[in-house]
Amino acid sequence: MGGLLTTDSVLTCPHGGQVSAIPSLGRVRLGNAPVVLATDTFLVSGCAFTPVVLHPCVLISWQAPATRSSSTAAAALTFDSVGFCLAADGAVQGSVLIHAADTAVEGL
């Protein structure tokens, strides 16, 4: 399992849009940043995907969170997790690109 993803992790869509995580709990932290879960909300801004019609990435759907996690009932996300970028109509636009993740966990 790779490093855990937090709200400070750098994620982008394949078209350069920035992914922002909105954690639902935030009890488990790495430093000052909450660990993000597959059930949290992930929004994409600044996606430049414009084939014929404007069709940017707006949300992330996680398909392969961590298989072993005791942080909460929901699975934590790691550097190895697989997420798909979705357009507003639910069309899959590509996979999330994970550029940075943390490795040391601090819990309450």
pLDDT digits (tens, 9 = 90+) for 28-44: 888 888 999 999 999 99
Mean predicted lDDT score pLDDT of the chain: 82
* Residue 36 domain-assigned (yes or no): yes
* Residue 77 domain-assigned (yes or no): yes
Query: Residue 91: which domain range?
Result: 11-98
Task: Note the pTM of the prediction, 2 decimals.
Answer: 0.69
78, β-bridge pairs: 4
* Residue 88 domain-assigned (yes or no): yes
pLDDT for 41 equals 93
* Residue 62 domain-assigned (yes or no): yes
pLDDT for 49 equals 79
| Number of folded domains that form the chain | 1
* Residue 63 domain-assigned (yes or no): yes
* Residue 5 domain-assigned (yes or no): no
pLDDT band at 108 (very low <50, low <70, confident <90, very high): very low
